[in-house]
Structure 1
């Protein structure tokens, strides 16, 4: 792959950032405004150049149909959300496998596959899917084997269902946060509340957006 010009790298970075933040690629007019271009031809020219270098794919080089390819941009990571080229109402979400201690939840090595879902299915729009293990959240209708959709964030409000890192693993629980007190509450009386030890690895990785159930076509 040939090297990028500085402007081509800026365009590629902008595409990634826009997709990560909004779940869709920028429109032609948004690209024109972002880079001060006066003509759609400039958009076409830059999308063509990135396509020729194997960094993006697009239908007739239209901005809204493009997706950034996983190998695009060398060491930079691919966007978490991609628009299906054949369905403008779909987004591709990475299904995260087992997460090792200290590893980012979206580490490339832990992504099992991408799953296309209707972009209007969840609010807020999620960044990933995670398979539920166990029945600690059954009173909230979250069952063993479900795929929950999560929005990546290090912060959450009291009462939200969160995806949290505790010690060696990832867990899904209700967040209790009052003053300096933080607890992770199960929604099954057979399970105990988790009180994170200040000396162990603990972090909010994301908030719950909804779920998909095996048998629903996934």
Structure 2
């Protein structure tokens, strides 16, 4: 199973592995070291190479010397279990798209994951309550598929935790200011400055949604 398969990886190594997997799924080819560096906001490629070396050493990645896109994913790392249409991720709590509500930590059920995202670690679904993201195509009652990541690019639709509450917003972080921007002009942007930013944490990036009629 995936949990035992990845038991020898550090949290940071899993983040790098998940990034490579997602990049390959989205683009059909592996990322370069520079692309990984930029995506993780690192100042040099040295830190990237250290983690990639460990992933290659442990057999989670293959590397072909002499190529700018030297990485590849061993086929056995995408097990048949995770490639079936029956692959599911947990449905955890609820998300307020509007005013934040308490995010329950308990699993409320399981929902199928689109095939293109199967093989990624840690995916989970959250139910949206509210209409503050309707102009981004996210409606009240939708279920958003979330990929846990430590940070997101400016303007990314993300699940953000405010203390123990969760909300779906476009995320912006510049200097000592965090802005959570709705996609509905009837709602105001939520701004946090200085020490108040410590209460804000990105839970993950919204990568898909499911809607029932």
How many residues align? The count is: 146
Q: CA deviation at 1:13?
A: 5.5
Matched, 1:114 2:110: yes
Q: Is the 8 A contact 1:90 1:119 kept in 2?
A: no
- Of 169, 177, 180 in structure 1, the residue corresponding to residue 165 of structure 2 is 169
CA distance in 2, matches of 1:90, 1:205: 25
Equivalent residue, structure 2, for 1:15: 5
Structure whose alpha-carbon radius of gyration is higher? 1
Q: CA deviation at 1:125?
A: 7.6
Q: CA deviation at 1:168?
A: 4.2
Q: CA deviation at 1:202?
A: 1.6
Matched, 1:189 2:185: yes
Unaligned runs of 5+ in 1: 1-10, 25-32, 36-62, 66-82
Unaligned runs of 5+ in 2: 22-56, 60-77
CA distance in 1, matches of 2:2, 2:133: 40
TM-score, normalisation: structure 1: 0.54
Which structure is higher in helix share?
2
Equivalent residue, structure 1, for 2:123: 127
Q: CA deviation at 1:90?
A: 4.0
Residue by residue over 1:84-105, the C-alpha shift from the partner in whole angstroms, topping out at 9 and shown as x without a partner, is 6xx7244211101148x9x997
Equivalent residue, structure 1, for 2:68: none
Report the aligned-residue RMSD.
4.0
TM-score, normalisation: structure 2: 0.55
CA distance in 1, matches of 2:2, 2:144: 30
